[in-house]
Structure formats: structure tokens, C-alpha cells
């Protein structure tokens, strides 16, 4: 324990050396705060090339270490080229007779000079082609999918080979899977129907958990902090809830009072009640997506801001303190990664449970 504390103290104090390295950056005239701001914004967004890191070498050239990804656009025809044509946003890419410019991680169609027309709020008004590119997030999703496939296939195979006992790395996942089956699925959905929903719940749990964890690594992939991806997951929950809903589910939605009142008594109530129920139908998955997106995005912003704070404080007290704080917040983010995956899965199971309710209270109606 004392050795760990000593190592931690040593690491945090070494960040005080950063002040010499950054002296040249400040003299360039660029305010370091705007530079950090731009750096953070760039890292929160998706990118069309897998840029591991970039550095400035001795002559002042910016060098990037990474590899470009294919750009696939649909703009009156299919355009397919490598994102190295963009040169990290410095040049235009020409495909056929159309020119494209990469501006803040989005691709716009421009003319040969690369003009971008802005409106009053400084948002570009150029035409955007339909972008089906393989961006960093897509690569991460495919990688996570393959990782999950390999991991759980080997777990399943180890069951058949070892007569019901798991071996290898899959042993770590067995209690997690059992927890999802017993405490999340069975208690929310009920004994009769929980088997149908198990594949989706398991997939969503491990998918979100692994993606959240990959977002914390230095590769800089912010997948679940992308509102498009969380929207897709929430839409899946929404579709599954409504397409596997029993008749009682829809009955409770549109006719909650049932036979207890005559129709002329129910009508004024339903004028208010049914819009609220319909609104609730959409707000429940919407809160799922907002919760996951905001938690992940805010976590990344906080960690990167604290690391940036390390470069603003160029003395021996501020930098190590900021590093220590960033380190502590990173540990909390590891907990939040697991917690958000658990919450998403649990609430999805809860909504599935609502959708598959049976008509138990026969006498009350």
C-alpha cells in the first residue's frame, strides 16, 4: 500500500516538468486556453481517420501517427476515397467533379476553392452529402462486436468442452451473465417470457460496457458519447418494447380504466390521459439515450479539461494537483462506465416487463 502511494506521488510530481516543454507553445501567440478548447472539441467528435496521436517534430511540422479510413459518400452517385485526401482537414478532396471539405469532422460539398458559407450563428450552410463513411466510431463498434463475438463464443465452447464448467477468461463473465439473467431479466419480465429478451439484454449490456471502457483508453474513441449511437440503441429498445407488447399492454395504454366507467365518463378523462400516456411512451426511451450520452460526454469533457488544466498551471503545485484530480475522476469514470451499462439494461428490462404484462386483475375490471 505504501509503495502504491509513493508511486502515485512520484508520478503526479513529475508533471511539474511540463512547464519547460510548453514554453514554445505559449510564445506562438495562441492562447493556450483556446488551443485546449479546440483540442477537447476535436476529441469529443467522431473523426474520419484513426489518429492515434500527433506531435510537432524539430522543424515545427505536425506529424500524425495513425491510419486513414475510407470515406463513403452518396451525393448523386457513390463516392469512395480514402480520408488521407483530406490531409487532416487542410486540403480539399476531389472525387469526380465534386469537391469536399472536412470542417469540424463533417464533410461539406464546396467548389474548387473550398468556400464555406456561414450563416449568422457561424454554422456552415453548404450542402452536406449523405455520409456513410467508416469513421473511428464505426471501426470501434466493429472491433467491439468482433471482440464480444470471440469472447462469448470461446466461453460457450468452454462449456461444451469442460462439461458445464467455464474455463479461461470467460470465467469472469459467467457471474455477470447470471446476474443479468436472474436479477435484471427474471425479476422485471417474469418467469414466462424472459428468455425471449435475454439475447438483446446481454448484448446491450456488454456492448455499452465495453464501448464505455474503450472510451477511457488513450486511443481517444468516444463512441457512446455520440448521440447518434445512443439514439440507435434507444430506438432498438423502443421497437422491441412495442413490437412484443401484448394486447394488455396496448389496452392499458389506450384504455386504462376499462369497464369500471361508462364511456361518457371516460371521454373527458381520456382527452387528458391518453396524450400523457403517448408522451410517456416516447419519453422513456428518450431518457435512456440522453442519460447514456450525457454521462459519457460529460465524463470525457471533465477528464480532458482537467488534463488541460495541467498545462495551464505551469508550476509545481498546480500541475500535480490537476493530474491527481484527473486520475481520481478517471477512476470514477470506470465505475460510471459499468453503472451506465447496468442502468440502460435494467431500464430496458423494466420497459419490456411493462410490455409483457398479463391481465392479472380480472376481478377489478
Partner 1 sequence: MTIPRIVGAGLIVIGVGVGIGRIGGQAMEAIARQPEAYGKIQTAMLIVAALIEGIGFAALFATAEA
Residues that bind partner 1 (CB under 8 A): 121, 183, 287, 290-291, 294-295, 298, 339-340, 342-343, 346
Minimum distance from residue 305 beta carbon to partner 1 (Å): 14
Residues 6+ apart with CB under 8 A from 28: none
Minimum distance from residue 293 beta carbon to partner 1 (Å): 8
What is the CA 105 to chain-centroid distance, rounded?
17
Nearer to partner 1, 69 or 296 (CB): 296
What is the CA 201 to chain-centroid distance, rounded?
17
Give the burial class of 340: count Cβ atoms within 10 A of its Cβ; 0-12 exposed, 13-18 middle, 19 or more buried. buried
Nearer to partner 1, 216 or 346 (CB): 346
Helix (H) / strand (E) element for 359: namely: none
Judge whether 333 and 360 are in contact, CB under 8 Å. no
Nearer to partner 1, 342 or 354 (CB): 342
Minimum distance from residue 227 beta carbon to partner 1 (Å): 10
Nearest-CA neighbor of 21 among 11, 33, 32, 9? 32
Nearer to partner 1, 71 or 180 (CB): 180
CA-to-CA distance for 351 and 354, rounded, in angstroms? 5
Give the 3-state secondary structure of residue 90: coil
Nearer to partner 1, 123 or 365 (CB): 123
- 112 grid coordinates: 474548387
Nearer to partner 1, 134 or 281 (CB): 281
Placement of cell 502511494 in the chain: 5
Residues 6+ apart with CB under 8 A from 47: 105, 135, 136
Judge whether 83 and 49 are in contact, CB under 8 Å. yes
Nearer to partner 1, 267 or 331 (CB): 331
Placement of cell 459518400 in the chain: 73
Amino acid at each position: 500500500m505504501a509503495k502504491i502511494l509513493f508511486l502515485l506521488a512520484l508520478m503526479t510530481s513529475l508533471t511539474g516538468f511540463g512547464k519547460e516543454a510548453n514554453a514554445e507553445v505559449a510564445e506562438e501567440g495562441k492562447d493556450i486556453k483556446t488551443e485546449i478548447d479546440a483540442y477537447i472539441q476535436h476529441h469529443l467528435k467522431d473523426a474520419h481517420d484513426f489518429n492515434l496521436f500527433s506531435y510537432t517534430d524539430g522543424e515545427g511540422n505536425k506529424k500524425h501517427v495513425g491510419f486513414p479510413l475510407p470515406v463513403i459518400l452518396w451525393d448523386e452517385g457513390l463516392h469512395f476515397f480514402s480520408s488521407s485526401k483530406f490531409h487532416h482537414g487542410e486540403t480539399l478532396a476531389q472525387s469526380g467533379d465534386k469537391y469536399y471539405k472536412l470542417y469540424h469532422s463533417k464533410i461539406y460539398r464546396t467548389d474548387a476553392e473550398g468556400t464555406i458559407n456561414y450563416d449568422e450563428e457561424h454554422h456552415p450552410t453548404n450542402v452536406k452529402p449523405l455520409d456513410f463513411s467508416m469513421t473511428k466510431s464505426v471501426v470501434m463498434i466493429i472491433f467491439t462486436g468482433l471482440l464480444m463475438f470471440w469472447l462469448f463464443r470461446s466461453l460457450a465452447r468452454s462449456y461444451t468442452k469442460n462439461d458445464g464448467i467455464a474455463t479461461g477468461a470467460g470465467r469472469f463473465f459467467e457471474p455477470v451473465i447470471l446476474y443479468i439473467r436472474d436479477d435484471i431479466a427474471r425479476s422485471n419480465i417474469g418467469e414466462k417470457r424472459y428468455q425471449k429478451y435475454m439475447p438483446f439484454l446481454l448484448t446491450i449490456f456488454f456492448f455499452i460496457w465495453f464501448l464505455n471502457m474503450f472510451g477511457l483508453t488513450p486511443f481517444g474513441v468516444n463512441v457512446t458519447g455520440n448521440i447518434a449511437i445512443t439514439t440507435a440503441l434507444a430506438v432498438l429498445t423502443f421497437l422491441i418494447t412495442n413490437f412484443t407488447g401484448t394486447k394488455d399492454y396496448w389496452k392499458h395504454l389506450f384504455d386504462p380504466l376499462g369497464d369500471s366507467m361508462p364511456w361518457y365518463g371516460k371521454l373527458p378523462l381520456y382527452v387528458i390521459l391518453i396524450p400523457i400516456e403517448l408522451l410517456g411512451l416516447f419519453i422513456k426511451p428518450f431518457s435512456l439515450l440522453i442519460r447514456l450520452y450525457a454521462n459519457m460526454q460529460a465524463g470525457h469533457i471533465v477528464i480532458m479539461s482537467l488534463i488541460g488544466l495541467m498545462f495551464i498551471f505551469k508550476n509545481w503545485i498546480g500541475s500535480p494537483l490537476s493530474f491527481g484530480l484527473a486520475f481520481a475522476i478517471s477512476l470514477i469514470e470506470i465505475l460510471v462506465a459499468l453503472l451506465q451499462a447496468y442502468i440502460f439494461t435494467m431500464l430496458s428490462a423494466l420497459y419490456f416487463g411493462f410490455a409483457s404484462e398479463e391481465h392479472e386483475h380480472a376481478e377489478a375490471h
